Amino acid sequence: MAGTKEIKTHIESVKDTKKITNAMYLIASTKLRKARSDLEQVRPYFDALRAEIKRIFRTVRDVESPFFYPYDHDTNPLDGTFGCLVITADKGLAGAYNQNVLKEAEKMLAQHPDTKLYVVGEYGRHFFAQKGIHIKKSFLYTAQNPTMDRAREITDILLEEYVQGKVKKIFIIYTDLKSSLASEANVTRLLPFHRSHFDAPAPGEKAFTEPIEFVPSVEVVLNNVMHSYISGFIYSALIDSFCSEQNARMTAMDAANQNAEKLLQELSLQYNRVRQAAITQEITEVSAGAKAQRAQRKKRQQRKEREVCTR
């Protein structure tokens, strides 16, 4: 059994670890609030873009665009090389956040081996490197600070591959934060879009019937709007993944804090028991020593009395 010194050292070690996990919890909660605030600030702009795309389709229903399935072949499977943007974190300590995303990426590679990977996050880069899986493009900036500029850079690279016909479809694998208690790794087809994705009116939305003039043409206007919309979609996915990561880290650190509290209680109880046993043993030894000394004194006294009697 460990002594009081070893148990006390263990308690101090757990307390130091608990300070670290508690600090990480507070940092993650702060980052989560800031990321949600940034997303809420830009969301109205991209909602407006989506509304404008709907207006274009209601005005000119047969408009052609490389970002959409052909008007008469909306369910064309478009077999060929796929592109896949995988968004992970830069580090672990976030529960199953990274593993869930990477499992979805492995499923896609198993179903469609001819898939080019575009990876955000150091964790994902190391994972695919260890597996010997080729990465078409690795975005080396940190996943901890999603910005609109980075989303535009990712969009430009993906669209260049798509417009040149090097990839037929583009998917994005990210984590959707549904609530503070639930998040889910999503596989979403980014390109091409189905027209029905924009064609259906939102609940309570009024139909737009007035004619619209497009300069220089409806195709150019739609393509420009779609470029901004795709950038916004990727930016939203980056922030959503970042929020999910911080939420997962908060959950993991909270569980670590609870486990530390439980361990401290058990160690404190064990320490008190060992200390009490040591005190009891010391009392027993002192009592036994005193008893032995009394017995020795009694024997010496009896010996002296016998000597006196014999004289």
- Measured CA to CA, the distance from residue 102 to residue 250 in angstroms comes to 21
Please report which confidence band the pLDDT of residue 202 belongs to, taking 50, 70 and 90 as the band edges.
Answer: low
- Measured CA to CA, the distance from residue 44 to residue 126 in angstroms comes to 36
Burial of 183 (0-12, 13-18, 19+ CB in 10 A): buried
- Residue 130 pLDDT > 70: yes
Return mean pLDDT, the chain: 79
Confidence (pLDDT) at 71: 61
Segment 96-118 shows an average pLDDT of 88
Confidence (pLDDT) at 171: 92
- Residue 56 pLDDT > 80: no
- Measured CA to CA, the distance from residue 184 to residue 178 in angstroms comes to 7
Q: What pTM value is reported for the model?
A: 0.74
**Higher model confidence: residue 181 or residue 101?**
101
Confidence (pLDDT) at 118: 92
- Residue 65 pLDDT > 80: no
Please report which confidence band the pLDDT of residue 256 belongs to, taking 50, 70 and 90 as the band edges.
Answer: confident
Segment 236-261 shows an average pLDDT of 83
Please report which confidence band the pLDDT of residue 216 belongs to, taking 50, 70 and 90 as the band edges.
Answer: confident
- 41-45, 62-66, 247-251: which is most confident: 247-251
Q: Tokens 């109205």 label which residue? A: 44
- Residue 173 pLDDT > 60: yes
Please report which confidence band the pLDDT of residue 220 belongs to, taking 50, 70 and 90 as the band edges.
Answer: confident
Parallel, antiparallel, or unpaired: how do β-strands 115-120 and 82-87 relate? parallel
Q: Are 111 and 196 in contact (CB under 8 A)?
A: no
